[in-house]
Structure 1
Amino acid sequence: MRVLMVSWEYPPVMVGGLGRHVHSLATELVAAGHEVVVLSRQPTGTDAATHPSVEEVLDGVRVLRVAEDPAHLEFERDMVAWTLAMGHGLLRAALTRLCPGWRPDVVHAHDWLVAHPAIALADVLEVPLVATIHATEAGRYSGWLSSPLSRQVHSTEWWLARRADTVITCSAAMRDEVAELFDLDPGPIAVLRNGIAPRGWRAAPGMVEAASRRYAPRGEPLLLYFGRLEYEKGVQDLIAAMPRIRRANPGTRLLVAGTGTATDMLVETARTHRVRRSVRFLGHLPDAELAALLMAVAAVVLPSRYEPFGIVALEAAAAGAPLVASTAGGLSEVVLDGETGLSFAPGDVAGLAEAVGTVLADPVAARARAAAATARLANDFSWSEVAVSTAAVYAASVYTAAAAGGPIELGRPKIPTGNVFGR
């Protein structure tokens, strides 16, 4: 099939896990014999003079990277306006540079930020629209849409999910969330897990030893969180648990790798709990350095309060690191409590500390669970299997779109006051 993927991030332009997902899926689809074009953007803050629109072929995937328009818009300050401008640029580039000589069989949109160009392209080209909902605004804020921005994002997500001929989520938990939030029948929603390429998450022994010497020169127990630093990731709960963890396991240190809007809050949280010297913020780490660190630590702790899937859990498992994770969303499907890691309820600081203590008290059992997690990757989280399932969804969407009789016009959703979950 000929597939047009629309995504607001694609390597090397990366914001979170979405870029890795789209890249891995695109390359696996190409390896399976499909033709894939990715429509994405140049880095934020550039323009057509510094970073003009370019086409290139990487790993068999044709990538069209679109320059930002001249308007002075910033993502953090002008999110909706910036997103609309990006969508206008993507649409214009696709229609003028791509689609005059090429027509896809399906358009695949990844998240709300590309709703406008993806819907427009599917309408203009008269092809099915498939949408992967990677996360929701309501989920990030525990069901509260208190700000105008949150309501705007939610309504765009609703539009994309309701307009799509087929919706994909990465976990059963996300399927239920999307169905509830956007008034959809959960039955037709396809649940396709993220995948992992395990070989990319191993490091040479020398690099692992160097990481141990650098961060634990006296053999102190090391804990690691890696990922985006946002409130919903729950790193504040992990920091709050550090005094209890250190009382039971003196000298334990926490390494926090990643960037995000919650960085300053987390630093202040460490000061409040008097563990600032035991918590080290590393910023963004290159993959090779991160892989070495994953193999050096006693445990990776993922304390998310909201997590649609938890691809970082797969990356930790690929490196063979013992896992301690909350049961938020898809994490409960990735980390099987007592089998491939240990779990605790989201926001349960005492439960988090107890689970970490269990890992540190019995490293042999922790490594056995880690080995089970690694072994599970090949069967349950193979990108080649994800690509096969995705291609089947594409094929089915052709019939779904035909049965619908073409695109439908939708009115605005009614956003209730109060919490949108459990209405």
Structure 2
Amino acid sequence: MVLVPIYCQLPLVHFPEYDGLDENFVRIYVMDSHRVFMIGWEYPPLNSGGLGVACQGLTEALAADGGLIYFTLPYQLPSSVSHMRVLACRHPAWDEPADAPPFSAYRSVGRDSTQPAPSRHRFSPDTMAAGLPGSQLEQQVAEYAQVVTQRARQYSDFDVIHAHDWMSLPAAQQVKALSNRPMVAHVHSTEHDRIPHGHGSRYIIDAERRGLAAADYVIAVSNYTKRLLVHKYGLDPARVRVVHNGIHPLQEPAEPGRHHFAHRRPVVVFMGRMTVQKGPDYFLRLAAALVKKQPNILLVMAGSGDMYHQLLLSAAGQNLSTSVLFSGFVRDRQRQVLLDRADVLVMPSVSEPFGLVALEAAQRHTPVIVSKSSGVSEVLPAAVQLDFWDIDAMVDSIISLLNDPGQAAHQARSQLNQLDSLSWHKAAQLVKRIYHQALQKRK
């Protein structure tokens, strides 16, 4: 790695160590060509949530700024990616097709992902209690780490290791031990978020604790997540840096009001995984309360997950089948149309490290209600912020937005203005600064 002194205009990101220097120009050192060995688990179009979207936004911005990125995945992408080198790291024992993700990155261990491991793994009934891999997901994470480490030997000309979430941490630790390069752990979600009421996987919590302890620096996607990491994992706050997610510019203008499905009906949308973390059960309670006050309302639950069938049966049991539409997972054009049509998006997450969907909705001029237990509330203060459990307050806020177009339009404009300060380029600048500090620390 070469450090080149240059003169440039003040950076977009504020660095306290530059305070007091010339306000127009400042002498800084930037990495001439940062080379990153980035360990991922999912990437669009084969993604089940925001992790893949965040990886795409960040890597595109880093590459646009001159970075060389090796990006590992446990499967092959269906098409090539031009801005980085994608390394498919499939273990030979896996039975899934080469272009199929082994498991969802977000599937809650303890629910449908805790399937008995195949007999080749020879686990005892006490495996989970012993803190060893006990589900297929956990075993495949361990096997993924083996293959990633082999790839790191092949592509060894990197400066820094960047790992996303717990699925990548075992691999990152092995690559760090092999290469003696600094490691950055990027936390998009923790087991304490996914299982917010406790009783999460001890194996995953231990994997998170070990991986975060091994990292030179930890990136949290919000101050909300930073506080959780400091409290639950005992991390030094000085070692945890907050980098909020960005958002991609729209490729085509939003079209609010143009789409006419559910004509003349107010539409309220939940968009996310059907897991306890995201609060879909609270949204269903909200639906039951809203229908009593506004019988013609349509509530759309867009997503899939381990609670999907339970919620479907619950809606039917409450005679909500004509008022609640389960659309399944939506992406691309379907996602855009639904957000354009929505009168309100509700994100009632129990514990939400960030919440990219709130930014997507704001970008498409849709008023947003978010849980106070979310990271996105830090960057989107114009959104209505409520406790996820406060159904009465949510009902009142939704009815108010539906009945007062002026209020809804004002909130939508305010949200849109707040997006101006968010970009993946800004996030990439902060991440590059963390790389630089990690490398300097090793000298």
The normalised TM-score by structure 2 is 0.80
CA displacement at 1:100 relative to structure 2: 3.1
In the alignment, does 2:47 pair up with 1:14?
yes
Structure-2 separation of matches of 1:86 and 1:232: 22
Q: Larger % of helix: which? A: 1
In the alignment, does 2:147 pair up with 1:92?
yes
The letter for the 2-side match of 1:183 is G
In the alignment, does 2:84 pair up with 1:61?
yes
In the alignment, does 2:197 pair up with 1:152?
no
**For 1:202-230, what per-residue CA distance to the aligned partner results, in whole angstroms no more than 9, with x for missing partners?**
4557xx63x42x2x13x010111111111
CA displacement at 1:94 relative to structure 2: 5.1
* Alignment partner, residue 327 of structure 1: 372
Structure-1 separation of matches of 2:37 and 2:314: 44
2:221 to 143, 165, 170: 170
CA RMSD in angstroms, aligned pairs only: 2.3
**Between 14-23 and 241-250, the greater mean CA deviation after superposition:** 241-250
Q: Percent identity?
A: 27
1:386 to 415, 424, 427: 427
Instruction: Point out where structure 2 has 5 or more consecutive residues left out of the alignment.
Output: 1-33, 97-101, 104-112, 118-133
User: In structure 2, do the counterparts of structure 1 residues 401 and 355 end up closer, same or farther at CA, with 3 Å as the change threshold?
Assistant: farther
User: In structure 2, do the counterparts of structure 1 residues 93 and 342 end up closer, same or farther at CA, with 3 Å as the change threshold?
Assistant: closer
Mapping 1:390-405, distance limit 5 Å: 390-402=431-443
The letter for the 1-side match of 2:185 is A
Please say if residues 69 and 89 of structure 1, whose CA atoms lie closer than 8 Å, have aligned partners that are also in contact. Answer: no
**For 1:16-66, what per-residue CA distance to the aligned partner results, in whole angstroms no more than 9, with x for missing partners?**
110111111011000011111101121xxxxxxxxxx68985232111122
The letter for the 2-side match of 1:67 is R
Please say if residues 112 and 157 of structure 1, whose CA atoms lie closer than 8 Å, have aligned partners that are also in contact. Answer: yes
Structure-2 separation of matches of 1:341 and 1:369: 7
In the alignment, does 2:187 pair up with 1:133?
yes
1:348 to 380, 390, 404: 390
1:179 to 230, 246, 249: 230
* Alignment partner, residue 120 of structure 1: 174
Mapping 1:24-423, distance limit 5 Å: 24-42=57-75, 58-71=81-94, 75=103, 76=113, 77=115, 78=117, 80-89=135-144, 91-92=146-147, 95-96=150-151, 99-100=153-154, 102-144=156-198, 146=199, 150-200=201-251, 202-203=253-254, 209=258, 211-212=259-260, 214=261, 216-217=262-263, 219-336=264-381, 340-379=382-421, 381-402=422-443
Please say if residues 55 and 64 of structure 1, whose CA atoms lie closer than 8 Å, have aligned partners that are also in contact. Answer: no
* Secondary structure, aligned partner of 1:307: coil
Instruction: Point out where structure 1 has 5 or more consecutive residues left out of the alignment.
Output: 43-52, 403-423
Structure-2 separation of matches of 1:26 and 1:306: 26
Structure-1 separation of matches of 2:369 and 2:318: 21
**For 1:302-324, what per-residue CA distance to the aligned partner results, in whole angstroms no more than 9, with x for missing partners?**
11111011111111111111111
User: In structure 2, do the counterparts of structure 1 residues 280 and 81 end up closer, same or farther at CA, with 3 Å as the change threshold?
Assistant: closer
User: In structure 2, do the counterparts of structure 1 residues 225 and 101 end up closer, same or farther at CA, with 3 Å as the change threshold?
Assistant: closer
Please say if residues 317 and 373 of structure 1, whose CA atoms lie closer than 8 Å, have aligned partners that are also in contact. Answer: yes
User: In structure 2, do the counterparts of structure 1 residues 94 and 120 end up closer, same or farther at CA, with 3 Å as the change threshold?
Assistant: closer
Structure-1 separation of matches of 2:336 and 2:77: 32
Structure-2 separation of matches of 1:399 and 1:84: 35
The letter for the 2-side match of 1:186 is P
**For 1:357-402, what per-residue CA distance to the aligned partner results, in whole angstroms no more than 9, with x for missing partners?**
12112122112111111121121x2110000110000110113345
Please say if residues 145 and 174 of structure 2, whose CA atoms lie closer than 8 Å, have aligned partners that are also in contact. Answer: no
Structure-1 separation of matches of 2:46 and 2:441: 33
CA displacement at 1:272 relative to structure 2: 3.9
Aligned residues: 378
Structure-1 separation of matches of 2:159 and 2:36: 6
* Secondary structure, aligned partner of 1:161: helix
User: In structure 2, do the counterparts of structure 1 residues 358 and 54 end up closer, same or farther at CA, with 3 Å as the change threshold?
Assistant: closer
